[in-house]
Structure 1
Amino acid sequence: MDYRVIKEGDVFFLTGLNGDIVLGDDQGHGLYTKDTRFLSRMELFIDGEKPSLLTSAGDKSYVASFRLMKESKDEGAIEVLRERFIYDGVLYERCTLTNYFVTDSNIEFTMTFDADFQDMFLVRKYRTGEVGKMEGVQTGDQDMTLAYVGADNLRRLTRIAWDADGGQADETGTVSFPLSLKAKEQKVITFFISPLTEQQPAAEPLTYEEGLKKLEASYEAWYGNSSRVEADSVLFSGLYQRGLQDLRMLTTDVGFGDTTVAGLPWFAVPFGRDSLITALFMLPMNPQLAVGTLRTLAAYQGEKTDPWRDEQPGKIMHEIRYGELVTTNQSPFSPYYGTIDSTPLFLALIGEYYRWTGDLSLAKELKPNMLRALDYIDAALEAGSGFMAYKQEAEKGFPNQGWKDSANSIIHENGEYAESPIALSEVQGYVYQAKKSLVPVFAELGEPELARKLETEAEELRVRFEAAFWLEDEQCYAIALDKNLRQVRSVTSNPGHLLMSGLPEASRAKAQAERMLRTDMFNGYGIRTMSTNSTGYYPISYHNGSVWPHDNAMILLGLGKQGFKEEAGKVISGLLQASAHFEYQRLPELFCGHDAGLGHPVPYPTTCSPQAWAAGTSIVFLQAILGLYPNAAKKEIALSPFLPEGMDELKAERIAIGSGYLSVSVVREANGSTFKVEVLENTTGFALVG
């Protein structure tokens, strides 16, 4: 990556590799919260010059460090170590200056700050709009405040304080420290930067050491409450730990419990689809994240018909923003509802949460939300001739509203873009899965008639789907039906999600699984979003030929559930090999679709990293490897492990299922093709089958 980013809560900080945000920056670097940039410049100077970068590190998701050097013609240098983290809404920036000259050195250490308080959409040049005005800089003995009054009449402030005496601050936002350092002497100056509104009191900063200790303790608690994994595969162990750490970083609470934001740097807010899929991935590791995610999305469930926001009663949101353009109704993201899949995924997650935990209390709590979501889906099915379809209503919304939401992602063989309403294949699978998975939930809630109705409706949808979507010549399902119910005959990854839903009949499920592993779809590192033979394929396309780890993970959930171990093993091995080529073994949002014969995956030019559902991919690896699929209604756990190539031993401990935990080890036997499975702990209350 050509940037460093850290995040805690709803505050994140994005800079260049030297730790600076430079004047006139056009990379979007800055300190952000509530979709507003509270710091648009932070530059470090020694004697008026920029020190050169020696190295920077961001291997810990929550801490970044930068080692800089100011050279001289004489033998020696002034070295600066910058270390930073965020805790309780405050950015801590510690600068340690060391004199490596053999004589005393008199230097001027300077930090220059500025804040433009721009809305995230303006920073990304995604929207334009009317904005407020700056109020200037107020300075004190050991602090300064930059202020802005928005078009929404909200006063936003950036308060910058420091712990060293002798700093001279001026109205340009510059604070200078004249320093005299003996040979090998160090001077430490810590800055405390707080993004605030006039309605939000500033947190009293701790010392750097106290703040970091509390932050690290929260990570240790996260690890302690998550499933533990040991494997003789360094790649797998590393990827799992990286995912665990990044998921903690991307967790936030907007008032309804912990959920994940979509990804950094541009999607640091709760989403419908992204947060739901991430929570689905995390069920084996931490099912409680599903609770916060579902409560958050239930709180913003659609209440009325509002074309401005693509809102409809019962619909689950796509994305929520908090910036100035949203609060002044210049943007519809307050929240925006232009997604076709969030609502069935919302219901499917409730069903899957019950399957894993046997906990009905959440379903009881969210029953009104579930019923409204089902009503919305049924109305959409009726309007879509029996399939759930989307059509953009909001002028500033999205033309395509599945997970492949770029304008060119649904394309016919002749090169024409499909016209809406568009019925996506995977969405019908999500609807099927939602209704099927809620059958035992409503039965337990004392609604047997509704349970039977859902069972019947799911089966009727399956029959309609099989008749309308199957491509006999390609031995897979079409990506979509257009407004005339014509098949969009692209061969894509979308129908791979159907395996997770359980919708396809057995022979077609097998054919679909095999189709995705042919060389036109599988590039050696993962399953492409589109076949190299399909119209529109381009390996550097965002959605038409690239490889998305989360897309592969959705497919893996189905491959594992359906027992396609060979195909699952190939996908896992490919993505593990790909992960070795990315910084800190962090799978990005996506990478290009070029063949693995190049010797390395080709990075996508602009990608979010870390990304929540990409971070959750390794947890899906664990579930697929173990063949682990609990069923609370039957008090059973399906367990059918295998080990992918390059792994001979795996131990997973404290997987939360039912009212307790499952711990299991898997060892490859001498013949190489069979596995010894040992259950180390089973306090779940469920019986093992498989």
Structure 2
Amino acid sequence: MDYRVIKNNDLFLMTDHHGDILGNDAQGGLYMKDTRFLSKLELTLNGKRPLLLSSAADENYVARIRLTNEHEEEAGNVKLWRESVEIIRERFIYGEVLYETIFLTNFSTKPLTFDIGFSMEADFSDMFLIRGFQPAEELGTITERKFGKDGWHSVYKGVDGVRRETKIIWDAEPEEISGQGDVRYAIRLEPKEAKSITFTVIPSIDDNQPAIYPRSKALAELEGIYASWNENTTKIETDSTVLAGLYDRGVQDLRVLLTDFGQGLFPVAGLPWYAVPFGRDSLIAALQMLPLDPEIARGTLKIMAAHQGTELNPWKDEQPGKIMHEMRSGELARSGQVPFAPYYGSIDSTPLFILLAAEYAHWTGDTDTVERLLPNIDRALEWIEKYGDRDGDGWVEYHQESSKGIANQGWKDSADSVIHKNGEFAQAPIALVEVQGYVYQAKNRLAPILEKLGHTEKAKRLTEEAANLKAKFDEVYWMPEDQFYAIALDGDKKQVQSVTSNPGHLFMSGLVDSDRARIVAQRLVAPDMFSGYGIRTMSSESTGYNPMSYHDGSIWPHDNSLAFLGMSQMGFKDEAATVINGLLKAAERFEYNRLPELYCGYDVSVGYPVSYPVACSPQAWAAGTSVLMVQAMLGLLPDALEGTIKLNPFLPDGIRNLTVKDIPVAGGRLSVALERKDGESDPRVEIIANTSGCKIVFNG
């Protein structure tokens, strides 16, 4: 990453590696609710930028940047010897307040005097403006800016009628205050003496001021939150250092991406640009997190239900019962200049909502939550039948209605992601292959839950609908020449005959029979689809292939994770192990063993995974990939409703042991150890603890 980012709840800070927000229309800043509350924060020593020694934000909630001075002479005399001053910038966010402390230490043998300067500004730009959107209407204005010895503040009145304010207070009075956002401190340090300056940045909306705590208390509270998270979530031990690093990084990244908008914690999509409720991304990340913390699924379902579509609104691509795609709360969304408050242009969020509710119940046994959500689930099912399948042919398909909406409304939502063999873009309405799998899985897995809740007729109807979908699926989507499933049907009901990763999502659904599923699994790990670092989004033999593209040849960890989870569940252990090993090989080369949102599709002959220039990192469903690796290796499939936990374990080459402790399942905890001895193909299994009340069934 060429940036550093930290986050807590709904506030995040993005800086360069020096810890600076450079201004000059750069993208760094302090953001809350899609608004940049701090657009400049630059530190200087004697008017110059210090030299960077190290920059780390591996803890996600705390960043530490270590700097020093360059050599300075004046009229032939040494003014400041090089590397005399150590500067440590330590910052964290707690309670939607940013705390930054600058620690200054004299490591020379003589007393030193020097100036430390800070430049600051708040432009209150909307996230859409920062990402290049050109508004058609005028925006709000800064109505107040004050600078004093104890702090600074700026006020913005938006065209949406909202008052936004940034306050900065400091614990040491500066020697000089100049301009609209510059302060200077004259520092004197004896040898080995240290001093510190603490800045506290408080963003607020409509005078709703967050609580401000002493720095030490705020940091202790924050550390306690993460300690509790680590204590109460699933833990692993393994001889694979990269798996251990990737898993630990994923667990920490998932925690920092959790946000509470009043319905419980749920994962936002990713940093820096998608720290908002996201239908598809949040639902899939919550699905990935079931083996880690099923409560996250409950919070995610509740926020999706709270913002379910209620009306026909073409501007927002909204229909009754539809689950949102993305919810923004900045000035442009609130004033109606963009349709994102919320926006509903997603074909898969609605079936994924039902699917997550069903999988959550099977994992936990909590049918009460599903029963409370039944009105929302019923409306989602109605949407699938009435609006998802407008022509009544049995396939759920999308087309854009909003003039400022998204054209392609599956997870591959770039404009060039659905391509015919002749290079033409498919025209809507488009019925994506994986969406039919989500619909099948949602109905098939929900039916037994409804049966238990006494809704027998509804359960029977869903089972029949799922069976009908399965009966005609292969005839319509299978490409005999390619021996693979088409990515989609276009508006003329013709197959879009590209070989892509999308059919990999079908394995977990149960929609495809084992014979054809095996053919697809083997193709996904063949050289044209598998780079050595993961499954490409498109075959290198397909017309639209481009290893540098966003969706037509790149590698997405979450896409891979849904494929290898389904491979594991269907017994395709060799293929699942191949994919997992490829992702582990990639993780070795990324900072902190963190898999980004995506990376380029070049194969291993390059020698390293090639980064995609604007990938989000950390990103929720990329972080959740490590959790699904563990689930897949255990072959873990709980059914709390039936009182069983299936295990069908394997260990990829290079991993000899894996112990997984405290998996939350069926209201209890499960701990399992796998170990493979020399010469053995299958690992030995030890059930260390099982307080779930479920029977362990070995399926293999």
The two structures have a TM-score, normalised by structure 1, of 0.98
Could you say which residue in structure 1 is the equivalent of 2:189?
Answer: 181
Could you say which residue in structure 2 is the equivalent of 1:94?
Answer: 101
Which aligned pairs between 1:273-422 and structure 2 lie closer than 5 A?
Answer: 273-379=280-386, 380-383=388-391, 385-422=393-430
Which aligned pairs between 1:75-474 and structure 2 lie closer than 5 A?
Answer: 75-76=81-82, 77-129=84-136, 130-207=138-215, 209-379=216-386, 380-383=388-391, 385-474=393-482
CA deviation digits over 1:371-397, x for unaligned, max 9? 000000011235252100000000000
> Partner amino acid for 2:639?
N
Post-superposition offset of 1:167: 4.8
Could you say which residue in structure 2 is the equivalent of 1:37?
Answer: 36
Separation (CA, whole Å) in 2 of partners of 1:384 and 1:103? 83
Post-superposition offset of 1:682: 1.1
Post-superposition offset of 1:615: 0.3
Separation (CA, whole Å) in 1 of partners of 2:178 and 2:159? 27
Post-superposition offset of 1:171: 4.8
- Aligned with 1:536 (options 504, 528, 544): 544
Identical pairs, percent: 51
Separation (CA, whole Å) in 1 of partners of 2:340 and 2:420? 30
Post-superposition offset of 1:434: 0.5
Identify which range, 32-41 or 590-599, moves more after superposition.
Answer: 590-599
Contact 2:203 2:209 in 1 (8 A): no
Contact 2:147 2:180 in 1 (8 A): no
CA deviation digits over 1:496-533, x for unaligned, max 9? 10011010012111111111111100011100000000
Which aligned pairs between 1:546-557 and structure 2 lie closer than 5 A?
Answer: 546-557=554-565
Which aligned pairs between 1:450-529 and structure 2 lie closer than 5 A?
Answer: 450-529=458-537
Post-superposition offset of 1:166: 4.1
Post-superposition offset of 1:134: 1.0
Contact 2:410 2:432 in 1 (8 A): yes
Separation (CA, whole Å) in 2 of partners of 1:52 and 1:546? 36
Contact 2:57 2:63 in 1 (8 A): yes
Post-superposition offset of 1:96: 0.9
Separation (CA, whole Å) in 2 of partners of 1:331 and 1:375? 27
Could you say which residue in structure 1 is the equivalent of 2:678?
Answer: 670
Contact 1:557 1:624 in 2 (8 A): yes
> Partner amino acid for 1:62?
Y
Post-superposition offset of 1:234: 0.5
Separation (CA, whole Å) in 1 of partners of 2:367 and 2:685? 31
Structure 1: gaps spanning 5 or more residues? none
2:643 maps to 1:643: no
Which aligned pairs between 1:541-580 and structure 2 lie closer than 5 A?
Answer: 541-580=549-588
SS in 2 for 1:60: coil
Post-superposition offset of 1:185: 1.7
Separation (CA, whole Å) in 2 of partners of 1:83 and 1:645? 41
CA deviation digits over 1:435-480, x for unaligned, max 9? 0010111111110000000000001111221110001122211000
RMSD: 1.2
Q: Give the number of aligned pairs.
A: 688
Separation (CA, whole Å) in 1 of partners of 2:467 and 2:207? 53
Separation (CA, whole Å) in 2 of partners of 1:680 and 1:81? 45
SS in 2 for 1:179: strand
Separation (CA, whole Å) in 2 of partners of 1:675 and 1:47? 62
SS in 1 for 2:287: helix
SS in 2 for 1:616: helix
Separation (CA, whole Å) in 2 of partners of 1:64 and 1:640? 41
Could you say which residue in structure 2 is the equivalent of 1:61?
Answer: 60
Post-superposition offset of 1:137: 1.9
> Partner amino acid for 2:281?
D
Separation (CA, whole Å) in 1 of partners of 2:256 and 2:108? 39
Separation (CA, whole Å) in 2 of partners of 1:397 and 1:43? 37
Post-superposition offset of 1:136: 3.8
> Partner amino acid for 1:44?
L
> Partner amino acid for 2:46?
D
Could you say which residue in structure 1 is the equivalent of 2:4?
Answer: 4
Contact 2:6 2:13 in 1 (8 A): yes
Post-superposition offset of 1:178: 1.7
Identify which range, 592-601 or 333-342, moves more after superposition.
Answer: 592-601
The two structures have a TM-score, normalised by structure 2, of 0.97
> Partner amino acid for 1:250?
L
> Partner amino acid for 2:50?
P
SS in 1 for 2:534: coil
Separation (CA, whole Å) in 2 of partners of 1:591 and 1:126? 25
CA deviation digits over 1:328-370, x for unaligned, max 9? 1111000000000000000000110011111111101101000
SS in 1 for 2:363: helix
SS in 2 for 1:498: helix
Separation (CA, whole Å) in 2 of partners of 1:144 and 1:467? 67
SS in 1 for 2:407: coil
Could you say which residue in structure 1 is the equivalent of 2:18?
Answer: 18
> Partner amino acid for 2:395?
F
Post-superposition offset of 1:170: 4.0
> Partner amino acid for 2:569?
K
Post-superposition offset of 1:141: 2.9
Post-superposition offset of 1:546: 0.3
Contact 1:227 1:652 in 2 (8 A): yes
Which aligned pairs between 1:576-591 and structure 2 lie closer than 5 A?
Answer: 576-591=584-599
